[in-house]
Amino acid sequence: MAKVKIELELDWISEEGDLDSTIKEEVIQNLQERFTARIERSTKEMLESKLQEISAKVTDEFLEKIMSDKVNNLQIPYKSNDWRSEVQMLTIGEFVGIRYEEFLKRKVYDREGNEARYSSDAKLSIHEFFINKFLEKELVGKVNNLIKTARQEAEETIIKTLESNLKAQLSADLINRLNIPHLLKSLQEKAALLEAEAP
């Protein structure tokens, strides 16, 4: 086994201090400096991100307020009639409302609901077309249901009346021989077939 003698010249160790306490102080001081630098760096990064976030928010709010004020105060010249020379100054909201109302009133569809090729063929506006289609659908459905119900009630009433009149006039024996309930049932089936074939 070989022995090596190492000599170190440590000028930062004072002559009266011992090596252990000096190393301990240096290590602690180094750790404190590193810890302080890390805290300073993380605090600086956190403050920078918060400042950026706050400045972006303040900038956005400022721009939004300025733009909304500008948009609310911004006025558009609007000529309500081609024949008149006077021009009104409207805000954007009023202008959009007027244009939307004009769009709803403008005739663009013919009677069948197709887009009109010529202005003379245009008979319905967009909301008139949809209202007519909705009313037509609702009314046709309700009228068909009403007619069907009325027809069924009328057939049932006629059959019951006919049956009671026949029972009153004919004897039970004759009814059994003619098999009137079967005859009435077949009449009812034929009426249902005719109803199904009807448009």
pLDDT(198) > 70: no
pLDDT in tens, 108-121: 777 777 777 777 77
Reported as a pLDDT band with limits 50, 70 and 90, residue 199 is low
Q: Please report, rounded to a whole number, the percentage of residues in the chain having pLDDT higher than 90.
A: 2
The 10s digit of each residue's pLDDT in 77-111 is: 777 766 767 887 887 778 888 888 888 777 877 77
3-class DSSP assignment, residue 75: strand
Lowest-confidence pick of 12-21, 39-48, 87-96, 162-171? 12-21
Q: How far out from the chain centre does Cα 176 lie?
A: 67
Instruction: Give dist(CA 108, CA 123) in Å, integer.
Output: 7
Per-residue pLDDT, averaged over 44-73, amounts to 84
SS (H, E, C) 89-152: EEEHHHHHHHHHHHHHHCEEECCCCCECCCCCCCCEEHHHHHHHHHHHHHHHHHHHHHHHHHHH
* Whole-number average pLDDT of the chain: 77
Of 58-62, 149-153, 177-181, the one with minimum mean pLDDT is 177-181
Distances (CA, A) of 125 to 102, 129, 171, 182: 10, 6, 68, 57
Q: Does the global pTM surpass 0.75?
A: no
